[in-house]
């Protein structure tokens, strides 16, 4: 599935019309009929529906929806919230078809009038503003939105809740708080931001027959789904041996922090790694080894004085390395040597990100992929921006950072944004609030490490890893846990069920 900005959606639309030969009227007909079909399955004929239309093509969708609902015998009325002359083009065409049905159309100019009418309805279909909204919301639409939000009725938005911008980085001035949004063709960027996602309520995407070539014409971001994982997940070779499933290393764990490295190692093994070596300090080895007997161990020395050649040899045998879980924040020497002496993918997480920030000024050169996995706080630290700024612009800040430093960025959150050094982005929206706990990031690092060992395409490896992690939490909460009690160790055990659904 694609994720689009408003500009990309208009470009896709233009391509479908000009190159695909599908008229705009037909796209509008498809959009409206698809939404109406969903509405007839979700609501009953006892519920009275008020379709509120504005001046643009979003309003045009509203006329089509109303026509289909009326044809199916639903009790539906259209309220036009703009002057007649504002309705043009395809929207005017579909308004005409609605008028031909001889069902009611009321033109409303006053908010109070709207309030009085709405008392007689159960459901509001919001087709007032779509992705063409610009700037501060003007009167009287602004007051109409207030009336709708205060109505207490079920609010169903078409394409986007009216007033909400499609793109990130725009302050939300005034918007409808929908219970449900039927998104046309592809989710818009604001579906995935913390502050704006709340306006959508539940959402569902309507396929309106736009050819895939139209989407590819503007190279939009992707939302990673099970079918993408199925299509890209490496198949286990019948004759595989432990070497062919990859050799990886997790480096981390100060004396008082054995837990993180243990979680990463176990998650890497559960994800199908052939061999995992835990590189940690002497005090941790017996603790971790007692709970992770499948791993081998490497005594990590030289925290204060750089690598010994013994260490380098071990690192150079690896297919991928994860660094930083529980390692503490002092001394970037070890990370520098690791990055400079290896040619495999290196993933940097947790405290390791503080070491990496120290190295940013000295421009460590690598030919192999480097992956960083910050949460919003860590990303704020790396980019010298505030968390609030990041939450408003996570896509553009990640992209700019990944391109500038030529790294893969996994920005962890409710919706995890994965960015490649060339700017390509994938969103993983699997998971739940049960993951907002200590240790789940270490588990993700372990899973990603194994994925990096087994897939040539780093971006796909990372997207698959995020899918496994989030889906494990989803299955566990559906079946035997809750978001309250779910622990990082459960997420590791839950991976088994996710893998079974992929085979």
Ligand X SMILES: NC(=O)C1=CN([C@@H]2O[C@H](COP(=O)(O)OP(=O)(O)OC[C@H]3O[C@@H](n4cnc5c(N)ncnc54)[C@H](OP(=O)(O)O)[C@@H]3O)[C@@H](O)[C@H]2O)[C@@H](O)CC1
Binding annotation: 57-61, 126, 130-136, 159, 162, 326, 375, 412-416, 441-442
Q: Which of 126, 168, 349, 490 binds K ion (CB under 5 A)?
A: 126
Part in contact with K ion (CB under 5 A); list of ranges 51-59, 185-193, 261-269, 453-461: 51-59
At residue 270, the 3 state secondary structure works out as: helix
Number of residues that bind ligand X (CB under 6 A): 28
The verdict on 383 binding ligand X (CB under 6 A) reads: no
Rounded CA Rg of the chain:
26
Binding residues for K(+) are 58, 126, 162
Whether the CA torsion 482, 488, 492, 493 is positive or negative: it is negative
| 61 belongs to the binding site for ligand X (CB under 6 A) | yes
Q: Of 210 and 300, which CB lies nearer to ligand X in the complex structure?
A: 210
Residue 156 interacts with which of K ion, ligand X, none, CB < 5 to 8 Å by class: none
With CB under 5 A as the rule, give the number of residues binding K ion: 5
Q: Which of 158, 249, 276, 451 binds K ion (CB under 5 A)?
A: 158
| Piece of 1-9, 160-168, 324-332, 429-437 that binds K ion (CB under 5 A) | 160-168
User: Cα torsion at 473, 479, 484, 485 (round to 10°)?
Assistant: -90
Prior bond of 267 cis (ω within 30°): no
Binding region for ligand X (CB under 6 A) out of 124-132, 293-301, 317-325, 330-338: 124-132
The answer to the question of residue 292 lying near ligand X (CB under 6 A) is: no
Q: Is 302 in the site for ligand X (CB under 6 A)?
A: no
Q: Residues at the annotated binding site for AMP? A: 412-416, 441
Buried-state track 486-498, b at ≥16 Cβ within 10 A, e below 16: bbbbbbbebbeeb
Backbone dihedral angles phi then psi of residue 101, each to the nearest 5 degrees: -80, -10
- Tokens linked to 217: 């014409």
Choose among ligand X, K ion, none what residue 31 binds, the Cβ cut-off being 5 to 8 Å by kind. ligand X
The whole-angstrom separation of Cα 162 and Cα 281 is 56
Q: Is 322 in the site for ligand X (CB under 6 A)?
A: no
Closest to ligand X by CB, 33 vs 291, is: 33
Residue 291 neighbours by CB under 8 Å, 6+ apart: 262, 266
Site for ligand X in 74-113 (CB under 6 A): 86
Distances (CA, A) of 479 to 165, 245, 335, 476: 37, 30, 41, 5
Question: In whole angstroms, what is the distance from residue 455 CA to residue 464 CA?
Answer: 10
- Give alpha helix (H) positions in 158-218: 194-200, 212-216
Which one of residues 3, 27, 314, 466 is an interface residue with ligand X (CB under 6 A)?
27
**Closest to 300 measured CA to CA, from 358, 249, 248:** 249
**Identity of the residue, 54 or 252, whose beta carbon is nearer to ligand X in the bound complex:** 54
Is residue 158 involved in binding ligand X (CB under 6 A)? yes
By a kind-dependent CB cut-off of 5 to 8 A, residue 13 interacts, out of ligand X, K ion, none, with ligand X
CA distance 191 to 193: 6
Annotated binding site for (6S)-NADPHX: 57-61, 130-136, 159, 326, 375, 442
Residue 377 has a CB neighbour count (10 Å cut-off) of 10
Determine contact, residues 327/351, Cβ cutoff 8 Å.
yes
Work out how close the CB of 367 gets to K ion at its nearest, in angstroms, rounded to a whole number: 48
Per rule CB under 5 A, is residue 162 in the interface with K ion?
A: yes
Cα angle 456-432-375, degrees, rounded to a multiple of 5: 60
The bridge status of strand 408-411 relative to strand 180-184 is unpaired
Near ligand X by CB under 6 A: residue from 3, 65, 114, 133: 133
CA 78 vs CA 28, 52, 53, 476: distances in Å: 17, 6, 7, 44
Question: Is residue 1 within a helix (H) or strand (E), and if so which, with residue range?
Answer: none
**Could you tell which of ligand X, K ion, none binds residue 126, using a CB distance below 5 to 8 A set by kind?**
K ion
**Residue nearer to ligand X on the CB measure, 185 or 319:** 185
Tell me whether residue 57 or residue 392 sits nearer to K ion (CB atom): 57
The reply on whether position 134 binds ligand X by CB under 6 A is yes
Residue 319 makes contact with K ion by CB under 5 A? no
Q: By the criterion CB under 6 A, which residues form the site for ligand X?
A: 9, 13, 27-28, 31, 54-58, 60-61, 86, 129-138, 141, 158-159, 184-185
């Amino acid at each position: 599935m694609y994720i689009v900005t408003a500009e990309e959606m208009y470009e896709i639309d233009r391509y479908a019309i000009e190159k695909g030969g599908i008229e705009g009227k037909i796209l509008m007909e498809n959009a409206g009929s698809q939404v109406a079909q969903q509405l007839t399955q979700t609501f009953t004929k006892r519920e009275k529906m008020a379709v509120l239309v504005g001046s643009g093509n979003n309003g045009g969708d509203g006329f089509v929806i109303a026509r289909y609902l009326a044809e199916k015998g639903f009790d539906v009325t259209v309220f036009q919230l703009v002057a007649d002359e504002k309705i043009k083009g395809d929207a005017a065409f579909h308004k005409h078809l609605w008028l031909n049905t001889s069902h009611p159309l009321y033109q409303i100019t006053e908010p109070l009038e709207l309030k009085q009418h709405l008392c007689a309805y159960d459901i509001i279909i919001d087709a007032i503003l779509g992705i063409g909204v610009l700037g501060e919301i003007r009167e009287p639409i602004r007051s109409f939105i207030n009336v709708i939000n205060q109505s207490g009725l079920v609010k169903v938005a078409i394409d986007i809740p009216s007033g909400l911008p499609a793109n990130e980085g725009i302050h939300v001035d005034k918007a409808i708080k929908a219970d449900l949004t039927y998104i046309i063709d592809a989710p818009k960027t604001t579906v995935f931001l913390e502050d704006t996602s709340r306006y959508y309520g539940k959402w569902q995407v309507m396929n309106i027959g736009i050819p895939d070539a139209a989407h590819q014409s503007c190279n939009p971001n992707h939302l990673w789904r099970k079918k993408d994982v199925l299509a890209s997940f490496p198949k286990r070779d019948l004759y595989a041996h432990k070497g062919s499933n990859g050799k990886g290393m997790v480096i981390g764990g100060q004396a008082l922090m054995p837990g993180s490295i243990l979680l990463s190692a176990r998650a890497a093994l559960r994800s199908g790694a052939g061999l995992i070596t835990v590189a940690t300090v002497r005090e941790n080895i017996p603790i971790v080894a007692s709970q992770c007997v499948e791993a081998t161990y490497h005594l990590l020395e030289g925290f204060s004085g750089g690598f010994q050649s013994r260490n380098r040899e071990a690192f150079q045998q690896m297919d991928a390395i994860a660094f930083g879980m529980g390692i503490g924040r002092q001394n970037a020497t070890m990370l520098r040597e690791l990055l400079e002496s290896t040619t495999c993918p290196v993933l940097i997480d947790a405290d390791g990100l503080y070491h990496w920030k120290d190295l940013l000024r000295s421009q460590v050169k690598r030919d192999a992929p480097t992956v960083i996995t910050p949460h919003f706080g860590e990303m704020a630290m790396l980019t010298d921006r505030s968390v609030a700024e990041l939450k408003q612009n996570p896509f553009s800040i990640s992209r700019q950072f990944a391109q500038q430093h030529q790294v893969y960025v996994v920005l962890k959150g409710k919706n995890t944004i994965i960015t490649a050094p060339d700017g390509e982005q994938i969103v993983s929206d699997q998971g739940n609030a049960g993951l907002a706990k200590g240790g789940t990031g270490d588990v993700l690092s372990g899973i990603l490490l194994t994925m990096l060992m087994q897939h040539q395409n780093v971006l796909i490896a990372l997207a698959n890893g995020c899918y496994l992690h989030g889906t494990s939490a989803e299955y566990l909460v559906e079946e035997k846990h809750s978001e309250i009690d779910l622990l990082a160790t459960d997420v590791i055990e839950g991976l088994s069920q996710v893998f079974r659904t992929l085979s």
